[in-house]
Chains A and B, each alone.
Chain A
Amino acid sequence: MTDIAMTVNGATRTGSVEARKTLADFLRDDLDLTGTHVGCEHGVCGACTVIVDGRAVRSCLMLAVQAAGSEVTTIEGLAPDGALGTLQQAMWDSHSFQCGFCTPGFVMQASAFLSAHPDADEQQIRAALSGNLCRCTGYQSIIDGVLLAARRSRAGISEGISEG
């Protein structure tokens, strides 16, 4: 067992883990952050996507020990205090999701992508999300949510719009 510490959603979190414990399971089981979902366990579906040191990663393919000392952001940390960030609000307005299982992975990857490419067009967004699988929506509503978020960000509508 190895003692590890990392910053998760802005707070220092610690744990004691076997080397083989995935980052996804560490977040879900040890830190009770169950927003990150596990959909395939072998690195294809993207439901487990989190941000580590500024990059979107498949947390099912990262060992928890590898994230020691890193800054990790999960879906719970995207817009704290119960508010919805610009992207989440836009996805709500766009009816982006149905069962919600793929949602955290899409939100994290889209969030990372939009930060780096605020002017992305639909084709670029689809390519950026090609590593996230959704079985319910056919993707169009998700793409629309991301496009709406991008438009709103460009128009200067700020983060933290609360529900309603």
Chain B
Amino acid sequence: MYPSRFRYEAPHTVAEAIRLLAAGGDNAKVLAGGQSLVPLMKLRFAAPELVVDINNLPGLSYHRADPDGTLRIGALCRHADLERSALLAGTQPTMAAAAPLIADPIVRNRGTLVGSLCHADPQGDWASVVLSLGGSVVAEGPDGRRSIPMTDFVTGPFQNLLAPDEIAVEAVIPAAQGERRGGYLKLERRVGDFATVGVAVSLETAGEVVRRAGIALTGVGASTIAASAAAAALTGHSLTAESIAAAASAAAEAARPRTDHRGSAEYKRHMVATFVERILTRCSAEPAERAA
């Protein structure tokens, strides 16, 4: 099970990487963790002519909070770093809930959050998390950097908005407008499986009132789904049984699941509602995380 031949470059600066991608055109792929790309290439579902390995780019392994609370995650920050992160444990409940659920422990040593966003697998967990947090991806190209909101970043299954000569260098989670609450639940048939259904819920509260809410869904559509109506149902209110039920139902409405061997569309929709309800119920009972 081997990939077809490809050219391989391992640049040492972002500028060099961008130049290589520009020259490579449509047939180049960026290699970060490789935990998704390499299997695809080995199964010959992907056959790029040029692979640009960004693992040697310096200074991209970070994840840190700015003084104003903005969280920045570099392109080479591994899932395991986030899983172990005291910063996330203390300030980012949705992310902290998702990190240990990504794939399996060995994959988490190499795979990256930014790479996962770029891979845009409808069953990828981080995209829902970042979407629910109102995050964005910072792309760098020949003309400099631009920030792409997560809502725009994924354009379809395994498709993102990056130009062929752009590299995603960072994911950004904006500072909270209140205290953070949230969670991520993933229904998998077995540890390490792709999500049958995943739900990310991120709230920012001031007192009991939800100032901002984000709900995003994994595995129940052609790509990650932002359940905007569900989030809107919570915004400006406190969490009550009624508002929770309304959000759960709206989220299920937003889902576009297919019936397959993992289950029927109705089953998946039901799980969306169940998970939204479970996370929100837990949020209403637990103390909030302080924003950094």
Do A and B touch each other in the complex, judged by CB within 8 A?
A: yes
Q: Are B110 and A58 in contact (CB under 8 A)?
A: yes
CA–CA, A36 and B39, complex, Å: 19
On whether the beta carbons of A130 and B105 are closer than 8 Å, the reply is yes
Taken together as a complex, chains A and B put the C-alpha atoms of A49 and B107 apart, in Å, by: 10
Q: Which residue of A lies closest to B9 (CB)?
A: A19
Q: Cα distance A2–B3 when bound, in Å?
A: 17
Query: B104, A62: Cβ atoms under 8 Å?
Result: no
Pairwise interchain contact A61-B38, C-beta atoms closer than 8 A: yes
| A55 lies within 8 A of chain B by Cβ | yes
B34 touches A2 (CB 8 A): no
Given A58-B35, A62-B34, A63-B8, A43–B107 Cβ distance below 8 Å?
yes
Determine whether B10 belongs to the interface, using a CB cutoff of 8 Å to chain A: yes
**Cα-based distance from A66 to B37 in the complex (angstroms):** 14
Pairwise interchain contact B38-A43, C-beta atoms closer than 8 A = yes
Question: Does A46 sit within 8 A of B, measured CB to CB?
Answer: yes
Closest-by-CB residue of A relative to B43 is A42
Is A56 a contact partner of B104 (Cβ separation < 8 A)?
A: no
Given A19-B6, A49-B106: A55 touches B80 (CB 8 Å cut-off): yes
Residue A57 is within 8 A (CB to CB) of chain B in the complex: yes
> Which of the residues B1, B55, B106 comes within 8 Å of A42, measured between beta carbons?
B1
Q: Does B284 contact A (CB under 8 A)?
A: no
Interface residues of A (CB under 8 A from B): 2, 18-20, 41-44, 46, 49, 55-58, 61-63, 65-66, 109, 113, 127-132
Q: Other CB < 8 Å A-B pairs besides A41-B42, A43-B35, A62-B110, 14 of them?
A: A42-B42, A55-B80, A56-B106, A57-B110, A58-B107, A61-B34, A61-B38, A63-B8, A66-B34, A109-B106, A113-B105, A128-B105, A131-B105, A132-B106
- Shortest beta-carbon contacts, A-B, top 4: A131-B104, A19-B8, A41-B1, A131-B106
